[in-house]
Amino acid sequence: MPNVQVRCTVNNCYFWAQENYCGADSILVTSDRAAREYPESVDAAQTAMIVEEIGETPTPTCMETACKTFKQK
């Protein structure tokens, strides 16, 4: 399993940690289009379900991706 360090500037997220690190165990990034089809914030079980359902969601630019693990503080 890859071990990726995520830096994030969204400091009103529950998982945001000091020095702009993401403190979540894992995150789900999808296309904006796919993100709109699911609840605003997803937990690990919902992440597994979404990945199983939608599989791959290519986008032409980084501006069309979204972190679905975001949860407002």
Q: Say whether residue 42 binds ligand SF4 (CB under 6 A).
A: no
Q: By C-alpha distance, which of 16, 33, 9 is closest to 69?
A: 16
Q: How far is the CB of 70 from ligand SF4 (least distance, A)?
A: 4
What are the two backbone dihedrals, phi and then psi, of residue 64, each rounded to the nearest 5 degrees? -110, 30
Among 10, 44, 48, 49, binds ligand SF4 (CB under 6 A): 10
Measured torsion, CA atoms of residues 40, 44, 45, 47, in degrees rounded to the nearest 10: 60
The residue ranges that bind ligand SF4 (CB under 6 A) are: 6, 8, 10, 13, 15-16, 22, 24, 27, 67, 69-70
